[in-house]
């Protein structure tokens, strides 16, 4: 059995020489994604709104020998998204191979309980921010000659789940954006895909909600 496991590991692909940006990489799905990409040899940049948490994660990754850098950034603000991508361009010399749009938020309420602020926050974070980041990253992805965009969507984007109407709408929009970019940017050697997890138990959601409603987007 040990020999089989070692053989499987040897057969895994390598990302040596590749660069990656993972949004929301200090917790949950984003954290696991940073670790996986770095383990496979990619040089990774990530971002978080929490400067202290970001610093702790960067120290942790450095101790593991991973090549990971980071920026404190609130992706709900356009100017901070632009600054983030300027940093990424500088760090990676104007080229980016992988963009993982992981950062997201949710509001768990019945539809009649959603107010305008709830709806605006979810749409701004889950749709406007990743869409804009793709626009900003486009020249860097194209320059790499081998670009890949991965959106972290959710099963909520393709099926009805209770108390997640705004969140579900945002993830449905992401699913459609994925299809459009896959068609538009294929000519530039940029692949676009979506991953749609079910509920994932992580440290992000600490409130006592059912697992099926927890942390769909990392």
| Domains, in order of start, for the chain | 16-45+80-213 (3.40.50.720)
- Catalytic machinery residues: 167
- Whether 112 contacts 61, CB under 8 Å: no
- What sign does the CA torsion over 60, 89, 126, 169 have? negative
Q: For residues 217 and 171, is the Cβ–Cβ distance under 8 A? A: yes
Q: Check: CB of residue 100 under 8 Å from CB of residue 21.
A: yes
Write out pLDDT tens, residues 52-107. 999 999 999 999 999 999 999 999 999 999 999 999 999 999 999 999 999 999 99
Alpha-carbon distance of 84 to 98, in angstroms, equals 15
N-to-C CA span, the chain? 33
pTM: 0.89
Q: What is the pLDDT of residues 114-156, one digit of tens each?
A: 999 999 999 999 999 999 999 999 999 999 999 999 999 999 9
Each residue's pLDDT tens digit, 152-162? 999 999 999 99
Which of these, 82, 156, 165, lies nearest to 122 by C-alpha position? 165
Residues 99-119: tens digit of each pLDDT: 999 999 999 999 999 999 999
Q: Which residue has the tokens 């107010």?
A: 115
Of the CA atoms within 13 Å of residue 216, those in its CB half-sphere come to 26
């Amino acid at each position: 059995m040990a020999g089989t496991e070692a053989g499987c590991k040897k057969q895994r692909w390598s990302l040596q020489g590749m660069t990656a940006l993972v949004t929301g990489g200090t917790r949950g799905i984003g954290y696991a994604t940073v670790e996986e990409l770095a383990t496979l040899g990619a040089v990774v940049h990530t971002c978080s709104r929490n400067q202290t948490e970001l610093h702790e994660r960067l120290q942790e990754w450095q101790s593991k020998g991973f090549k990971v850098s980071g920026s404190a950034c609130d992706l709900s603000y356009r100017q901070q998204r632009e600054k983030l991508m300027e940093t990424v361009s500088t760090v990676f010399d104007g080229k980016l191979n992988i963009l993982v749009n992981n950062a997201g938020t949710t509001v768990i309420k019945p539809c009649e309980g959603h107010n305008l602020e709830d709806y605006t926050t979810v749409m701004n974070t889950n749709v406007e921010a990743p869409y804009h980041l793709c626009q900003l990253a486009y020249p860097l992805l194209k320059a790499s000659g081998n670009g890949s965009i991965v959106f972290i969507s959710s099963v909520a984007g393709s099926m009805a789940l209770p108390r997640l109407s705004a969140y579900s709408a945002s993830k449905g929009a992401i699913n459609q954006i994925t299809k459009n970019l896959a068609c538009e940017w294929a000519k530039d050697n940029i692949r676009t895909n979506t991953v749609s997890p079910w509920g994932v138990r992580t440290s992000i959601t600490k409130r006592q909600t059912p697992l099926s409603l927890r942390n769909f987007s990392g």
